[in-house]
Amino acid sequence: MTTTHTALPIPPAVLASLRLRDDAGRPCTPYEDPEGGAPLRCCLRRSRPGELIALVSYAPLRRWAAATGADPGAYDEQGPVFVHGAECPGPAAGSGHPFANAGALRTVRRYDAAGRILGGRVLALPEAGAGAGDAAVERALSEAFADPDTALVHVRAAEYGCFLFEVRRA
């Protein structure tokens, strides 16, 4: 499937700092994943059994705001994300939208250039059809960026509110 919007992984420099101390100030504690399936935000894929991963606290809007001069105020939040315990090659090119699992619920949150929430929606991914989840995510992102005030979008898992990936206006 061709996508217009690119899901951004956590940048390598940010990963390097999170692997030392996360955004909650805790040291990173990598462990061997016994089952696999953890949504890795460094390479935007699921972990495989036996991979070295870590669960760290990450504040994506705070880090974006620091780089842009925005002040998200109370919208600044941090939460748990899985990353590889050591450097990884990042996402595979052309892999579509990550974590577009059949039947999954996602939230699509829009933010303006000041870091304030403009709105959001819950997205129920289709149960069947090759590429149907990718297509649904792509439509939701197109809808979000149709608002000219949207600077970036966060896609999250609806079940736990976990940050999955970010998309910025091109």
- Residue pair 109/123 in contact (Cβ under 8 Å)? The answer is no
Q: Pick the residue with more confidence: 96 or 108?
A: 108
Residues 112, 70: one domain? no
Task: Provide the domain count of the chain.
Answer: 2
Domain extent for 78: 12-84
What's the confidence (pLDDT) of residue 159?
87
What's the confidence (pLDDT) of residue 3?
66
Residue 97 resides in a domain: no
Say how far apart CA 132 and CA 102 lie, in whole Å: 8
pLDDT band with cut points at 50, 70 and 90 for residue 96: confident
Residues 127, 156: one domain? yes
What's the confidence (pLDDT) of residue 2?
59
Say how far apart CA 120 and CA 133 lie, in whole Å: 18
